[in-house]
Copies of this chain bind each other. A is one copy, B any other.
Amino acid sequence: MPYTPPLRDFAFILDHVAGFDQVRATDRFAEATPDMVQAILSEGGRICSEVIAPLRRPGDTTPTRLENGAVVSPPGYAEGFGALATGGWIGISAAPEFGGMGMPQTVSTAFYEMMSSACLSLQMNPLLTQGQIEALEHHASDAIKALYLPKLISGEWSGTMNLTEPQAGTDVGALRTKAEPQADGSYHISGQKIYISWGDCDFTQNVCHLVLARLPDAPAGSKGISLFLVPKVIPNEDGSLGQPNSLRVVSLEHKLGIHGSPTCVMDYEGATGWLVGAPNKGLAAMFTMMNNARVGVGVQGIGVAEGAYQHALTYAQDRKQGPTPKGATAIIDHPDIRRQLAIMRAEIFAARAIAMENCVAIDMATATGGDEWSARAGWLTPITKAYGTEAGVTVSDMGIQIHGGMGFIEETGAAQFLRDVRVTTIYEGTNAIQALDLVGRKLGDGGKAAFALLDEMSATASAADMGAPVADAVHAQRGATEWMLGQGMEGRAAGATAYLRAFARVLGADMHLRAAQAGDAARVALAQVYIDHLLPEHAAHLAAMRSDPAAYMGLSPEDLTA
């Protein structure tokens, strides 16, 4: 099943919805001209379609395995990654001085969406490397930057993130891995890490681990965590490879999906590492990177949704079954099937536009240093992550349903999208954590970022032909934001998920209104589909948010047993 890059949507969103012109008007990103961006996305789309998409099924049926302690990746992954590396696709947003393209994150994110549609398991590898590049650019010493960044950006080496330990998942502050200072300024790292994606790799020459660990004198909890760079092979100063480090992959997890991506249990036994950033400030350094990684994971959800959607759309056009009300026989002409396809498409468009809007804010913050852009990006990030990944699950699930019985047969490929994408609502902070971040830390500005967005949405809705229900929803969301600001910790925690979902719904409607105002009849119809079929959920979320948590907090485990 071929993959068609959504280039039309990207161009339309950049030009007419997400205001990308502001980004290219900055000095920093002046090179991101319309022609340049179009050329990058179109060539990137071609590679995803022709080189990466054919790796999706083989990676599922021939999972990555561990042989003598080393990862053996699925057939074709090495060649696919090689094409990404030699094409310069790993460092789209990385600094030119180390070999990157220096493009805005909006552009790299669009490319990473396409890579997610094509093959999520392989995409994980450069996505993590990109995160490591960003972390090193911001927090590493010049020596580390000079040694590591060119290798990571060129794809000769790859990068990982090591946070989780068996007892420290969501509560990362509970981690126990130790770092002992050595006379030469390095550290010896010891401990076990779990859920390490691409913890080993057979198509890069070195694997560089960013590891959270505790110094001997570190305070307890999340304030005593430092960040270390721990390579699989210790490089010499000239960048050539030296001695193997004291770390190993203990085992790989057997997972529901992304079978091509090795999820490693890692053991560090006095492995040599170097501090990145200040002592005990590791979590802050990691969070800089994680905020953008969260956008990246949201976009993984959107990318898989697009892949699942295209798969279902093609099937619905090919599959003949029964006379439809209009007498045709392809199942796309059945109202229930076309309704589902239109909802899937409307959902993907909204999530994609929100992610692009988010990236524009990130790029503007980078280019201008403006606090308002940072606050806007910070507000949108948990929404992009949670909404994008939930759209990934919902759309992939609908894709299975459209295939009927064939959807349950693995060879069809429809089920793989759901199995692969299912992790995205969990990792990089579960979606519940995203919601707590939104109503906690992000609402810590007294709602300034939220109200600014609501003001914009209100203006769009009142100017739009079909804007009345959206204006009502914006108004209700404003009230919900005030309500949330008045809540204590338990009230915020209880209503967080519903609040985030409601905000995403009204923001999605806003994106569709903007598209309808600038677009053709099909964009108007798609906006109508969103307003008719998805926006009505908004009121349901707000009703749930305002309900009294006492009803369920009072239910004991015994009450909860049937």
Contact = CB atoms under 8 A, between A and B. Distances in A.
A325 B171 contact: no
A448 to B, nearest CB: 25
A336 B493 contact: yes
A411 B254 contact: yes
Contact of A393 (B6, B167, B397, B427): B397
Contacts of A48: none
Interface stretch (A35-43, A94-102, A450-458, A529-537): A529-537
A182 interface: no
Given A313-B557, A426-B407, A544 B562 contact: no
Contacts of A407: 426
Contacts of A195: 405
A539 interface: yes
A6 B339 contact: no
Interface stretch (A202-210, A223-231, A545-553): A545-553
Nearest to A9: B562
A300 to B, nearest CB: 14
A460 interface: no
A459 interface: no
A560 B169 contact: no
Interface string A401-440: 1001101111100010011001101110011100110000
B532 A536 contact: no
Contact of A430 (B401, B409, B422, B552): B401
A517 interface: no
A317 B557 CA distance: 8
Interface string A329-342: 00010111111011
A257 interface: yes
Interface stretch (A19-27, A65-73, A276-284, A520-528): A520-528
A486 interface: no
Contacts of A322: 170-171, 173-174
Contacts of A410: 254-256
A1 interface: no
A86 interface: no
A359 interface: no
A140 interface: no
A314 to B, nearest CB: 9
B409 A425 contact: no
A8 interface: yes
Q: What band does the interface of chain A fall in when counting residues whose beta carbon is under 8 Å from B? A: 35 or more
Nearest to A532: B547
Contacts of A543: 532, 536
A288 B270 CA distance: 70
A342 to B, nearest CB: 4
A409 B255 contact: yes
A339 to B, nearest CB: 5
A373 interface: no
A64 to B, nearest CB: 15
A496 interface: yes
B536 A555 contact: no
Q: Of A332, A341, A489, A560, which is in contact with the most chain B CB atoms at under 10 Å from its CB?
A: A560
A559 interface: yes
Given A313-B560, A493-B325, A539-B540, A555 B525 contact: yes
Given A345-B562, A426-B404, A533 B547 contact: yes
B170 A321 contact: yes
A170 B401 CA distance: 13
Contacts of A557: 313, 317, 332
Contact of A408 (B418, B423, B562): B423
A544 B551 contact: no
A281 to B, nearest CB: 21
A185 interface: no
Interface in A340-390: 341-343, 345, 348-349, 352
B408 A338 contact: no
Contacts of A337: 432
Contact of A555 (B253, B338, B348, B397): B338
6 contacts: A4-B562, A254-B411, A256-B410, A345-B555, A348-B562, A540-B540
Interface of A: 4, 6, 8-9, 164, 167, 169-171, 173-174, 194-195, 253-257, 306, 313, 317, 320-323, 325-326, 332, 334-339, 341-343, 345, 348-349, 352, 393, 397, 400-401, 404-405, 407-411, 415, 418-419, 422-423, 425-427, 430-432, 435-436, 489-490, 493-494, 496-497, 522, 525-526, 528-529, 532-533, 536-537, 539-541, 543-544, 547-549, 551-557, 559-562
